[in-house]
Amino acid sequence: MRILGIDPGYGITGFGVVEAQAGQFRLVNCGAITTPPNTDFSWRLTVIYNDMTQLLQVSQPDAVAIEELFFGQNVTTGIHVAEARGVILLAVAQAGIPLFEYKPMQVKQSLVGYGNATKHQMQDMTKRLLHLSAMPKPDDAADAVAIALCHARSSTSLLAKAQAK
């Protein structure tokens, strides 16, 4: 199964493509879609949408896993991230690829076994699962890889298989 993980944002949208087969994981590709600050916001959304559409065509994922929106202190930033997430969801829906959403705590629980794991613990487990010597950069790409791994581990669980029946 090829999974595209997405860490949504409007300045940087991280992505990670992971292949999962029989409990083994391989990093295929990762990176970020970036838009420059101080440019028209609607133009930034267009760039995200166009790049995401192209990424979906090139990577040919069987599933897309995306992080659910978490509103912190800055509501204005949260609204912009939600709008960026909306154009990403549109691109995925138009491509007809199954979409799965995970809360940050679910990603941590899946990879580390603890929903309040630190960033360092997440990165360490990601490196171990993928047999990497270093974490992908930027951090948004590393987070997207972790989201893809979360789905890979969740979709192959006994619970997921039972729910599919």
Q: Which of 7, 19, 101, 143 is catalytic?
A: 7
Is 106:67 a contact under the CB 8 Å cutoff?
no
In the sheet where 2-7 sits, what is the strand order? 24-34, 12-21, 2-7, 63-67, 99-102
Pairing between β-strand 12-21 and β-strand 24-34 as defined by DSSP bridges: antiparallel
**Active site includes 139?**
no
**Active site includes 67?**
yes
At residue 5, the 3 state secondary structure works out as: strand
**Active site includes 124?**
no
Q: Which of 19, 67, 83, 139 is catalytic?
A: 67
Q: Which of 19, 40, 51, 140 is catalytic?
A: 140
Give the C-alpha separation, 146 to 80, whole Å. 23
Active site residues: 7, 67, 140
